[in-house]
Amino acid sequence: MSTKPLHAVSPPSPPPGSGSFIQVQSLAKRYASGAPPVFEDVSFEIEHGEFVCIIGHSGCGKSTILNVLAGLEQPSSGHVIMANREVSGPSLDRGVVFQGHALMPWLTVEANIAFAVRSRHPEWSRARVAEHCARFIAMVGLLGAGRKKPAELSGGMKQRVGIARAFAVEPRMLLLDEPFGALDALTRGVIQDELLGICAATRQTVFMITHDVDEAILLSDKILLMSNGPRARIAEVVLNTLPKRRQRDTIHHDPQFYRIRNHLVDFLVRRSRQLQAGEGETTFGAPSFVSPGLIETVPAEAG
């Protein structure tokens, strides 16, 4: 058997001023003078309504890139442009959900969300804030839990509150830093399904860090693969060619799923280390866009 690639192209350069919703341009981060950068020359774009996952080994700078997108950290060089304006600090236009829920333990679920909503809409009445919060509490499946405090909630419920709080300020972009990493598989699956539904309904733009290959395939429109640090870069952009409306319980029946999964695992296990060591056929340049899901398996020609 041999494989025949159907799609492997370099990303086109956008014309000046055309502008994707998010443009990351030549980003680099160095923490100490004279030390090699954690990552360098990181460039990619995100369209409005697109769900993008980033995958790479620990130490390649994924969380730092997310923090730069959030405005929580400054790059050593490079720029992040959002809707034609440079990101220079935190903003309610970008909601962040970390692995830790970061809820205020003395406040109820409703009050935790209301605190964020009042930051966005200080002119709203108490009744309007409460109505708005109730909508997002229901959206993440927590009806009846609005009066509970975090200590009364399971880990999965706390993460749902964090997601509801992020969505409630109606950000233009949602940034997720392994938000489901500490959850059991069943709870993670339920919240993934809810997140898919919310994003489909709101056309939310999402940038998410994950170490879970299956999670990236389920949720994303494209997956950024980072080489190992130091001097990490975006090595490849994997386009997810699976149908948009995906279901966890049926996704594995599509042959594209395994083609994409095998490609991602091979990168993490083998090719990322080859890149770091300067081995293999792949050399750094502009990352290519690839569609491993469209690689068809064909019989080898007789000999």
Query: Where are the CATH 3.40.50.300 domain residues in the chain?
Result: 2-93+171-298
pLDDT over 80 (residue 282): no
Residue 278 neighbours by CB distance under 10 Å: 8
Concatenating the DSSP letter of every residue in 33-46 gives TTSPPSEEEEEEEE
Residue 297's pLDDT is what?
Answer: 56
Reply yes or no on whether the pLDDT at 11 is more than 60. Answer: no
Select the more confidently predicted residue: 240 or 8: 240
The reported pTM is 0.86
Residues 116-165: tens digit of each pLDDT: 999 999 999 999 999 999 999 998 889 899 999 999 999 889 988 998 99
Reference 196, options 275, 276, 139, 269; nearest CA is 139
Between CA 20 and CA 25 the distance in angstroms is 12
* Strand, coil or helix: 163: helix
Burial of residue 126 (number of CB atoms within 10 Å: 0-12, 13-18, 19+): exposed
Written as one string, the DSSP assignment of 259-283 is: HHHHHHHHIIIIIHHHHHHT-SS--
What's the whole-number average pLDDT of the chain? 86
Where residue 66 falls among pLDDT bands split at 50, 70, 90? Answer: very high
d(CA 269, CA 188): 24
Spatial CB neighbours of 108, under 8 Å, sequence gap ≥ 6: 146, 147, 148, 149
* β-sheet bridge partners, residue 2: 298
157-215 confidence digits (pLDDT tens): 998 899 899 999 999 999 999 888 778 888 888 888 888 888 888 889 999 999 999 99
Confidence check: pLDDT of 281 > 60: no
| 16-29 tens-digit pLDDT | 444 689 999 999 99
Q: What is the pLDDT of residues 80-95, one digit of tens each?
A: 999 999 998 999 999 9
What pairs with residue 3 in β-bridges? 297
Q: What is the pLDDT of residue 284?
A: 57
Please check the confidence at residue 2 and state whether its pLDDT lies above 50: no
- Residue 241's identity, in one-letter code, is T
pLDDT of residue 186: 83
Angle at 264 between CA 263 and CA 268, to 5 degrees: 120
The CATH number of the domain covering residues in 2-93+171-298: 3.40.50.300
Residues 210, 213, 215, 216, CA torsion sign: positive
